[in-house]
Amino acid sequence: MNRLSIYLADGTFDGPITMSSPASSFTAIRVRRDDMDQYVEDLNKPGIYLLLIGNDTVYVGQSGLDTIGKRAINTHSGSIDSSWHTLVAFACKETTISSNELLYIENAMCEYAHANYPHCATTSPAKANCNTAYRNSHYHLGSSSIHTCNAYIKDILFYIQHFGKSIFVLPENPDPDPIDDEHHALFYFKSAARDTDGKAVILIHQGHTRRRKTVLKAGSKVSTDVLTAFEGSERVKELRKQYENEGKLVNRVLQVDISFDSQSGAGQFLNGGSFDGNSGWKTVNGNVKLKELL
């Protein structure tokens, strides 16, 4: 593809981006969810779209008989509707593109997403069916249509490569409750048995070992389940469900910083079991237990 035109709406790669080429049958648009109403005309076309969740999860979809703009804001499974922040659309200039062709391209893009991003939130087609052999036999397309679809796929991948790392545009989150810079430290906890890995900012200036403000950082991965044999298990289950519904916890990974009243409470939420915050949390740089700093 040659003569690629890139339009930066606000002059930077952080804002909306539109890419097009006279050699391509698609136009690429990346726009934050809150700004979609400014791109109604551009999205009023059939095509393929990605919904970006957090900074590592992609949902791949296709417009079917509708338009990208309408399909993107329709209902999706799970917590996708409440958690995606950015739309990356590949609008087809050919309005005669068929539903089966779109399904074929969607399958290929799912294969790409599974191979290139930590998480792909699309469940249909299943990951095991995202391959050339399956899509060549499953979508009832002739050799000419398959050839055309593969050309379309190359166009879309070309656009994605030019987005590069900037494909993920995270919404600005308010800072967590302020913590005195002179009296806090960054701690971590990791458990292979519980498949847990998290970091937290914890106050350390108080002269006792009891409850202290703790901010569990975005990117922390919570355990797969919550054990029942500890005090507070129901509270942890309710909090996790609440944050999943709000899009703050996606695929066990926190999307935003979460504040807790105690170091142990944050650890229970992370590890899904009993947790001694003074012993469990260790400094990131020195591997020193919290209790040794009190």
Q: What is the pTM of this model?
A: 0.59
On the question of pLDDT at 14 being above 90, the answer is: no
- Give pLDDT tens digits for 118-140: 899 999 999 999 999 999 999 99
Mean pLDDT score of the chain, rounded to an integer? 87
State the average pLDDT over residues 185-209: 83
* Spatial separation of the C-alpha atoms in residues 200 and 202, rounded to whole Å: 6
The upper half-sphere exposure of residue 172, i.e. CA atoms within 13 Å in the direction of its Cβ, equals: 4
Q: Among the listed ranges 228-232, 258-262, 273-277, which one has the minimum average pLDDT value?
A: 228-232
* Spatial separation of the C-alpha atoms in residues 151 and 73, rounded to whole Å: 28
Nearest to 196 by CA among 217, 233, 223: 223
Nearest to 196 by CA among 224, 156, 227: 224
Between β-strands 57-62 and 119-120, what pairing exists: parallel, antiparallel or unpaired?
parallel
Q: Find all residues with CB under 8 Å of 114, minimum gap 6, and list them.
A: 120, 127, 130
- Domains of the chain, by residue range, sit at 5-167, 181-293
